[in-house]
Structure 1
């Protein structure tokens, strides 16, 4: 199971940056919107929708959302905004012009994992199984009494499929992620192409899966930002909450309009 690297406490972001040359990468749940009790309960409020539209224009398209959700879910949540979207931690992605891409996937393992976790969730009321195509998440936020059972089951499945999947932990969830799912590689892929190329990267994220992206951003001399408390993180900066993320980004858009 992945762990974070302790590099000390992060420092608050400067109030205003020279933002016009930034390539901005944003996580979704816990960064742009608050985490809900069930993934399907999440929507993209008007405030965030306006902010993303403004950022897309001001950054000349150098804005991407990189999420653990499936690409189809991200397209539904952000429609009709013409954003660059990366789903399944980067295994699926859509360019801002609508062109879609996806890593190849072996179907036998996905069928086995999906069936096993569907059965587990049915036998443990309150747990939520989320099939993300390239990743399989088991949520226990609404059933903390089953945390140990979730851990035991996910560990057993990981041991059976560890050649293709890694086991990671998030906020009240465990996830088996295909090796194609890696936010660091997703960021690097975008930085190699316009309109992101030759810009200073910034990644804002709140969870352990976002830690994969922070070293890539740091290596490019960019801004890696962890949302919330995290004594162990490779991020160099922090913002304390979703509200602070939104307020900080709105401040940058006002500064760029002057």
Structure 2
């Protein structure tokens, strides 16, 4: 499917009846060489707060980042959120964080193996995420094939775990949870239920969220030009996404 390009005025008349699910890195904010170096542009937090109010609180972040990291980035704003691709989940802005139980012995073994692999390889960065572990190779793209092969080797025979590849990153995480499952869980409860869902994201890890909203006759909004995708709408980059949010929040 080739998504239809939209502009910042799209869906303005119907936004109040939508449920919104936003990825963060590469969607709301621009990617950085290191995840900790990202910048939340001026005005975005206020626009998200106003947009959340306009949709009656039916706006959630659905991200690969941990919830604690998202709260830090968007403070003082707090939203419903699914972190670590759904391994963490908070139903309301001030509610408790639920976490999928994780085999710590397996997680520690995988994290140690990635850290040992990264020794002496400038540009690789291992990121413990609490319930998963990721290895970034954005600063060493030539090592991508080795990183992917390592992940496959580490998980061979490891039941209940899989590798999730994104933009210059591979994450090792437990099975059974993804962004699509997180979106479905939100849609089963107020204030999200009964609304037209819209999911926005930029990476292959967002495809599950796209598929989920399309099952509910919703809108899957691809940010960027990645192909293939099941998305049915497209914006060119995070700046355009932020412009859309600014317009929709009026």
State the TM bucket, normalised to the shorter chain.
over 0.9
SS in 2 for 1:174: strand
- Listed one character per residue, the Cα deviations across residues 74-113 of structure 1 (whole Å, up to 9, x for unaligned) are 1211222121121111111222123221111111110101
Query: What is the CA distance between 1:136 and its match in structure 2?
Result: 2.0
Aligned pairs for 1:101-250 (under 5 A) are 101-161=98-158, 163-250=159-246
Query: What is the CA distance between 1:197 and its match in structure 2?
Result: 0.9
- Does the alignment pair 1:98 with 2:98? no
Q: Distance in 2 between matches of 1:251 and 1:229?
A: 22
- Listed one character per residue, the Cα deviations across residues 130-149 of structure 1 (whole Å, up to 9, x for unaligned) are 11123222111111232232
- Give 2:6's aligned residue: 13
SS in 2 for 1:75: helix
Given that 2:48 and 2:249 are in contact with CA atoms closer than 8 Å, whether structure 1 keeps it comes out as: no
Query: What is the CA distance between 1:155 and its match in structure 2?
Result: 1.5
Given that 1:82 and 1:98 are in contact with CA atoms closer than 8 Å, whether structure 2 keeps it comes out as: no
- Listed one character per residue, the Cα deviations across residues 196-221 of structure 1 (whole Å, up to 9, x for unaligned) are 11111000000011001111100101
Given that 1:22 and 1:199 are in contact with CA atoms closer than 8 Å, whether structure 2 keeps it comes out as: yes
- Give 2:247's aligned residue: 251
Q: Distance in 2 between matches of 1:252 and 1:133?
A: 34
Given that 1:88 and 1:181 are in contact with CA atoms closer than 8 Å, whether structure 2 keeps it comes out as: no
Gaps of 5+ in 2: none
Q: Distance in 2 between matches of 1:120 and 1:224?
A: 37
Q: Distance in 2 between matches of 1:43 and 1:181?
A: 28
Question: What TM-score does the superposition give when structure 1 sets the normalisation length?
Answer: 0.91
- Does the alignment pair 1:84 with 2:80? yes
Q: Distance in 2 between matches of 1:171 and 1:56?
A: 28
Given that 1:239 and 1:245 are in contact with CA atoms closer than 8 Å, whether structure 2 keeps it comes out as: yes
SS in 2 for 1:46: coil
Q: Distance in 2 between matches of 1:123 and 1:165?
A: 27
- Give 2:31's aligned residue: 35
Given that 2:180 and 2:208 are in contact with CA atoms closer than 8 Å, whether structure 1 keeps it comes out as: yes
SS in 2 for 1:226: strand
Given that 1:136 and 1:177 are in contact with CA atoms closer than 8 Å, whether structure 2 keeps it comes out as: yes
Q: Distance in 1 between matches of 2:172 and 2:96?
A: 27
SS in 2 for 1:123: coil
Question: What TM-score does the superposition give when structure 2 sets the normalisation length?
Answer: 0.93
